Amino acid sequence: MEFTTAEPFLHNGLLQSFELTKYILKTNVYPREPSPLKELREVTAKHPWNLMSTAPDSGQIMGMLLKLINAKKTIEIGVYTGYSLLLTALSIPHDAMIIAIDPNKETYEIGLPIIQKAGVEHKINFIESQALPVLDKLLQNKDNEGIFDFAFVDADKENYLNYHERLLKLVKVGGLIVFDNTLWGGTVAQPEEAVSEDRKESRRSIIEFNNSVSIDQRIEIALTPSGDGLTICRRIR
Ligand code: SAM
Ligand code: CA
């Protein structure tokens, strides 16, 4: 399989090797990627912020998790053009739902025609907003506590711990909260002075998040080095 229009997407990732990243995508990910997702990835590749899109190898893990737990009610924080959103919508049953939150509706609308064509728009409740007020509003109603099976967080890194606290109340015991970019391009293991200025603040937030979840007794965790680092948290109490 050749890398065509989607190639600008590719970065060397945590493996720090284009060849190895390409190998994984070429052998295991792209041949099984549903065609609407491939189309969305190719459309996104033409957008200037395309590196924001969820890495397809991380997407493959998420799809597997969603199916393993038979997720029906999910939350997504950080939509962009909708790669992870469409992936979620394709991985959950016909009558399942996603609350998808992003203050940028314009980028969501880039992928929306593909989501519509794939016949999964009815599963999505897109809320054009910052995520914290939406989560706080959900939590004002006690009936929303512990009703979600799955949440995916891929937005402002400075709020990861704030999202974590709220999602731990919204997601049921046994449910999953998955956080993207938790290795932040590998910079978490580099001295701060080696990191470019524009990455420092988020790096600090990610390090604080990683330290905090590593000792959080309410969850089990697995940090997988796929894409840019994917931390899977399973609520256990
Ligand atoms: N998961 C997306 C995908 O697969 O294409 C990528 C998300 S992108 C890395 C981050 C997104 O978070 C952007 O679309 C941005 O508008 C959104 N965002 C930034 N701050 C946010 C906030 N406070 N609440 C919700 N979304 C936010
Ligand atoms: Ca991301």
> What one-character-per-residue DSSP string does 121-181 give?
GGGEEEE-S-HHHHHHHHHHSGGGTT-EEEEEE-S-GGGHHHHHHHHHHHEEEEEEEEEE-
**Does residue 140 sit within a domain?**
yes
User: In which region does residue 230 sit, left (phi positive, over 0), alpha (psi from -120 to 50) or beta (all else)?
Assistant: beta
pLDDT of residue 1: 34
Q: Tell whether 90 is covered by a domain.
A: yes
Helix count and strand count (H, E) for the chain: 8, 7
ipTM exceeding cut-off 0.95 for this assembly: yes
Q: Which helix (H) or strand (E) holds 99?
A: strand 97-101
The answer to whether residue 104 sits within a structural domain is yes
Which tokens in the block code for residue 43? 């459309």
Name the CA radius of gyration of the chain, rounded. Answer: 17
CA of 142 to the centre of ligand 2 (A): 30
Tell the residue number behind the tokens 């999602």, with chain if given: 167
- The ligand whose atoms approach the alpha carbon of 105 most closely is 1
Q: How many domains does the chain have?
A: 1
Non-local CB neighbours of 139 within 8 Å, separated by 6+ positions:
145, 166, 169, 170
Could you tell me if residue 21 is inside a domain?
Answer: no
- 140-148 long-range contacts (CB < 8 A, ≥24 apart) are 144/170, 145/169, 145/170, 146/170, 146/171, 146/172, 146/173, 147/73, 147/172, 148/73, 148/74, 148/75, 148/172, 148/175
Tell me how far the alpha carbon of residue 190 lies from the centroid of ligand 1, in angstroms.
25
Q: What is the model's pLDDT at position 6?
A: 43
Determine, yes or no, domain membership for 43: no
Lining residues, ligand 1, CB within 6 Å = 52-54, 77-81, 83-84, 101-104, 107, 130-131, 154-156
Question: Alpha-carbon distance 92 to 79, whole Å?
Answer: 17
Of 79, 90, 159, 180, best ligand 1 pocket probe by most atoms within 8 Å of the beta carbon = 79
pTM, whole model, 2 decimals? 0.94
Identify whether 94 is part of a domain.
yes
Is 153 within the bounds of a domain?
yes
Main-chain phi, psi angles of 80, to 5 degrees: 50, -125
* Per-residue model confidence as pLDDT tens digits over 115-156: 999 999 999 999 999 999 999 999 999 999 999 999 999 999
CA–CA dist 2, 19 (Å, integer): 13
- Domain containing residue 151: 54-235
Closest Cα to atom 22 of ligand 1:
130
**Residue 111 included in any domain:** yes
Going from the Cα of 51 to the center of ligand 1, the distance in angstroms, rounded, reads 12
The residues near 30 (Cβ < 8 Å, ≥ 6 apart) are 1, 38, 56
Spacing, Cα 156 to ligand 1 middle (Å): 7
DSSP-assigned beta bridge partners for residue 221: 233
Give the domain CATH number at 220: 3.40.50.150
Taken as a whole, the chain contains a residue count of 237
Q: Which residues of the chain have pLDDT under 70?
A: 1-16
pLDDT for the residue 3: 38
Can you give the pLDDT at residue 172? 98
Question: Quick one: pLDDT at residue 20?
Answer: 86
